[in-house]
Amino acid sequence: MTPLPGEPPFFGRTTELADLRKRIVHRGMTVVTGRPQIGKSRLLRELRDDLKRENKFLVGYHQASATQNTLLYATAELYQQALADSNWRDQFHILYKQSGSGWTARVGLAIGKVLADTTGRAKGIFNETFSTLGEAAETLRTGGMRTTLAPIATEEIKSLLELAGLVDKNRPLLLIIDQWEDGQDIDGDAVHLLSFLKETQDWPPNLHIILHLRHPADDETHQDAICAWKKIKGFKKESAAVKDYELPEINFNQDGIREELLKWLRDLFPFISEVAEEDIIKLVDGYPAVLKRWLDGQPTDLDHLKELAKDAHALLYPELENILRSLLTEWNSKDENSALDVALRFILLPIPHDQQTWDHIRPYVLHGASPHLLDHFKSIGLLDRESAIPSLGLPKRVEAASTLAIEDEILSPHTKRVLISLIGEFTSVFQSPEDEKSLVAVGILAVLDGAAIRLKVTARPAALTTAAVTLFGPYLISMRVDIFYSNVIADSTELNNGEAKLLAIGMVNALYMAKHENKLLLRDKLLKELRILDLNYPDDPLVRKSLAIGLFHTVYNAIAEGNLEHRDKLLEELRTLTRKYPGDPAIREQLAISLFNTLHKLENIDNLVQREKLMEELEILYHEFPDEPAILAELLGSLYIDIIRIGEGLDKEGADMERLLSVMTKIEYLIPIAKDLRKRNPHPRLVQVLQQIP
């Protein structure tokens, strides 16, 4: 079908057209639903045109309006198609005259009015056929529709369709009612449709009816849509012949469709040729309204393209704005458990997919509010009415709700306020990356980081969500290290326990990324903040461990940079930290690793004295703490590298042989001890070293 003016081409929907074709060969009713502007009307028009072109169905299509009798107009279009066939006209003429004058005059008058503006042969046939009907004939002659059509009785609609079925027994009948909720008389239509479903013997056996209507959730204020949907529910109770068909998004990755779409877009907007295909497909995301928005908006660059796509996707769930605005009108600043706040918590927090996850986040969602509020949210359409676990519905609906809450200028201040509260609540739970509850909390904080960025949250709340992100990989905050540092130092108020721990981890990960991005001054500033944090929270093991790891990273950097003076200062700081916390093996582990790294890089023979000194320090550390696998692992690793180095330049007659035998003796002594310790404590580094030593 040629697109209507300003309408994109018809892409895809091969599967959906095939699905509907399978349904319409059977008697019954199909209710086509789907999100706004997903392409429901377009699909039905395409189906109508395909069937008319093939001429294997008699099709009556009508887009409902408040001024026209829906079923009558659909039936009239079916007759228009039929009258184009001369054989059909002749048979119709005979059967029509045989039908008598009971309902004939009334239906003839109605059909005459519907087709009064018809031109060509169809108008001539009706002039002849209804010539005995004075008012109808007058209407046809004048081409006017001067009177309002009275309601049509079920018997009249049924008889018209029955007559069509008698004339043409080979072609099934199909009525397509588009946007039924906008019709003139939904109650009257429902009477006819219910009769069709219940009194099967009285209606043509080859008749199928397709109804398209919007779901009332799409617009809670549309009373006709609510009424129409209630009628559909009633139909389903009365007959199993009523089937729903929810129109999905278009799969633009299907063979041929993708290429067709991209060609059309590139022809319209040449700059799209420079955009990655995957990015374009992702922007459309299966939603044809995006194409219409692009066609209307005529974008000139990628940013404009994205903006228009975003506007189109916002139309998918228009009910959300009505619901949230209604909750906003009820909001009271003194009420900490308002319905609006609970709704915004639902929108901001991750979707609970299972009962266990829901049980965990439920207290944070309700925040002291009554559980009955969830039932209220279902009743107003915010939550999925069918889901056992409270849910906003499909991921796209969650995304639409999030976009609305964050970007709407009236709602966004409330969303920001609730977000900051949530950040504080989940941070207070955090104790350690090894703790299960802490991991869940930090995972949720990482999810909230996206909303924090979009809402331009700054200072400590922003630093906390960024810190949470780093636990899943420092690279995830690439190019954000400067902002993180600014947010860390923006608030000098006292930290609570969870905040201190989380920021400590965030700073050591950011320190690593600063070096990766060659921001050495920023790296040193972050290390300074870790030192301050350790001074302020000396009793927190996670804080001091983070400082130790930060020092280890910086020692490693200094070795790589050849800055030996800086290396030695940092090593001494690690030794001091070890002495400050003699009961903390995590600090000694970082010292042992740093000693190993330093030894490993002292390759020149001139450094032999320093190497022996560092080796001795490792041995002393081991003898003080023989049960700590990390220290034994670094000692063994250092001794093994020493053997390799001695062996590479071995002079069998010289002193190296004596040194080699000494190191080998130490290794032979330590390996059984290490293997026994590995059984008791399979530390990853110890396991690795034992695997490397033959």
Averaged pLDDT of the chain: 83
Handedness of CA 51, 53, 59, 61 (dihedral sign): positive
| Whether residue 147 has pLDDT greater than 60 | no
- With respect to residue 445, please indicate whether it lies within any of the assigned structural domains: no
- Average pLDDT, integer, range 587-596: 94
What are 642-660's pLDDT values in tens digits? 888 777 665 545 556 777 7
Residue 391 and residue 274 share a domain: no
**Of 267, 293, 316, which marks where a domain is finished?**
316
Residue 323 and residue 281 share a domain: no
> What does the chain come to in residues?
694
Please state, in angstroms and rounded to a whole number, the distance separating the CA atoms of residues 643 and 638. Answer: 9
CA dihedral 648, 652, 658, 664 (to 10 degrees): 50
- With respect to residue 224, please indicate whether it lies within any of the assigned structural domains: yes
Range with the largest mean pLDDT of 61-65, 436-440, 552-556, 606-610: 552-556
**Of 203, 223, 246, which marks where a domain is finished?**
246
- With respect to residue 490, please indicate whether it lies within any of the assigned structural domains: no
DSSP state at residue 542: H
CA dihedral 451, 452, 456, 459 (to 10 degrees): 180
Residue 97 and residue 50 share a domain: yes
Name the pLDDT band for 333 (thresholds 50, 70, 90). Answer: low
Handedness of CA 366, 372, 374, 379 (dihedral sign): negative
Please state, in angstroms and rounded to a whole number, the distance separating the CA atoms of residues 462 and 424. Answer: 11
Tokens of 465: 């969500």
**What is the predicted pLDDT for the residue at 328?**
87
Residue 292 and residue 229 share a domain: no
Residue 201 and residue 91 share a domain: yes
DSSP state at residue 62: E
Helix, strand, coil percentages (3-state) for the chain, rounded to 5, are 65, 5, 30
| Whether residue 119 has pLDDT greater than 50 | no
CA angle 366, 370, 376 (to 5 degrees): 90
Residue 475 backbone dihedrals phi, psi, to 5 degrees:
-65, -15
| Whether residue 99 has pLDDT greater than 60 | no
Range of the domain at 388: 319-410
| Whether residue 114 has pLDDT greater than 60 | no
In the block, residue with structure tokens 């060609």: 263
- Average pLDDT, integer, range 3-26: 85
Name the pLDDT band for 94 (thresholds 50, 70, 90). Answer: low
Rounded to two decimals, what is the model's pTM? 0.68
Please, what's the largest Cα pairwise distance for the chain? 132
Residue pair 597/621 in contact (Cβ under 8 Å)? The answer is no
- Average pLDDT, integer, range 218-228: 67
Residue 272 and residue 211 share a domain: no
| Whether residue 96 has pLDDT greater than 90 | no
- Average pLDDT, integer, range 580-605: 86
Residue 315 or 440, more confident: 440
Q: Is 457 helix (H, G, I), strand (E, B) or coil?
A: coil
In the block, residue with structure tokens 């930090």: 442
Please state, in angstroms and rounded to a whole number, the distance separating the CA atoms of residues 362 and 557. Answer: 45
Kind of pairing, strands 58-63 and 173-178? parallel
Q: How far is CA 489 from the centre of its chain?
A: 34
Percentage with pLDDT > 90 across the chain: 42
What are 570-581's pLDDT values in tens digits? 999 999 999 999
Please state, in angstroms and rounded to a whole number, the distance separating the CA atoms of residues 320 and 314. Answer: 10
| Whether residue 399 has pLDDT greater than 80 | yes
Please state, in angstroms and rounded to a whole number, the distance separating the CA atoms of residues 645 and 604. Answer: 10
- Average pLDDT, integer, range 593-618: 80
Pick from 471, 503, 475: which is nearest to 489 by CA? 503
In one letter, which amino acid is 345?
R
**What is the predicted pLDDT for the residue at 131?**
38
Residue pair 427/498 in contact (Cβ under 8 Å)? The answer is yes
What are 480-530's pLDDT values in tens digits? 899 999 999 998 889 999 999 999 999 999 999 999 999 999 999 999 999
- Average pLDDT, integer, range 204-224: 76
**Of 393, 410, 427, which marks where a domain is finished?**
410
In one letter, which amino acid is 408?
D
| Whether residue 434 has pLDDT greater than 80 | yes
Q: Of 360-374, 498-512, 603-617, where does mean pLDDT reach its minimum?
A: 603-617
The total of other beta-carbon atoms located within 10 Å of residue 204's CB is 18
In one letter, which amino acid is 466?
T
Residue 263 and residue 224 share a domain: no
Please state, in angstroms and rounded to a whole number, the distance separating the CA atoms of residues 472 and 469. Answer: 6
| Whether residue 398 has pLDDT greater than 80 | yes
Please state, in angstroms and rounded to a whole number, the distance separating the CA atoms of residues 41 and 410. Answer: 33
Q: Of 273-282, 383-392, 552-561, where does mean pLDDT reach its minimum?
A: 383-392
- With respect to residue 398, please indicate whether it lies within any of the assigned structural domains: yes
Residue pair 632/670 in contact (Cβ under 8 Å)? The answer is yes
Residue 122 and residue 212 share a domain: yes
**What is the predicted pLDDT for the residue at 461?**
95
**What is the predicted pLDDT for the residue at 540?**
94
Q: Show the beta-strand stretches assigned E in 610-650.
A: none
**What is the predicted pLDDT for the residue at 125?**
40
Residue 141 and residue 171 share a domain: yes
Domains in the chain: how many in total? 4
What are 30-74's pLDDT values in tens digits? 999 888 888 999 999 999 999 999 988 999 999 988 777 788 888
- With respect to residue 573, please indicate whether it lies within any of the assigned structural domains: no
Tokens of 506: 């965030």
Please state, in angstroms and rounded to a whole number, the distance separating the CA atoms of residues 165 and 75. Answer: 12
Enumerate the β-bridge partners of residue 244.
31
**What is the predicted pLDDT for the residue at 120?**
42
In one letter, which amino acid is 537?
Y
Enumerate the β-bridge partners of residue 28.
208
- With respect to residue 565, please indicate whether it lies within any of the assigned structural domains: no
DSSP state at residue 494: P
- With respect to residue 441, please indicate whether it lies within any of the assigned structural domains: no
CA angle 648, 652, 657 (to 5 degrees): 80
- Give the DSSP per-residue string, 100-155: -SSSHHHHHHHHHHHTTT--SHHHHHHHHHTTT-HHHHHHHHHT---SPPPPPPHH
| Whether residue 105 has pLDDT greater than 50 | no
Tokens of 97: 């005259």
Residue 206 and residue 178 share a domain: yes
Residue 369 and residue 298 share a domain: no
The total of other beta-carbon atoms located within 10 Å of residue 604's CB is 9
**What is the predicted pLDDT for the residue at 101?**
43
End-to-end CA separation in angstroms for the chain: 76
Enumerate the β-bridge partners of residue 60.
175
Pick from 160, 166, 168: which is nearest to 82 by CA? 168
**What is the predicted pLDDT for the residue at 112?**
46
Task: Enumerate residues 6+ apart whose C-beta is below 8 A from 246.
Answer: 32, 33, 34
The b/e string for 43-74 (b: 16+ C-beta within 10 A; e otherwise) is bbbbbbeebbeeeebbbbbbbbeeebbbbbbb
Element containing residue 211 per DSSP (H, E): strand 207-212
Enumerate the β-bridge partners of residue 173.
58, 207
| Whether residue 631 has pLDDT greater than 70 | yes
- With respect to residue 640, please indicate whether it lies within any of the assigned structural domains: yes
Name the pLDDT band for 104 (thresholds 50, 70, 90). Answer: very low
What are 230-272's pLDDT values in tens digits? 888 889 998 999 999 999 889 888 778 889 999 999 999 999 9
**What is the predicted pLDDT for the residue at 5?**
55
Please state, in angstroms and rounded to a whole number, the distance separating the CA atoms of residues 40 and 593. Answer: 65
Residue pair 70/96 in contact (Cβ under 8 Å)? The answer is no
Residue 309 and residue 161 share a domain: no
In the block, residue with structure tokens 């109650």: 187
Please state, in angstroms and rounded to a whole number, the distance separating the CA atoms of residues 530 and 526. Answer: 6
Task: Enumerate residues 6+ apart whose C-beta is below 8 A from 178.
Answer: 40, 41, 44, 45, 61, 62, 63, 64, 212
Task: Enumerate residues 6+ apart whose C-beta is below 8 A from 3.
Answer: 9, 10
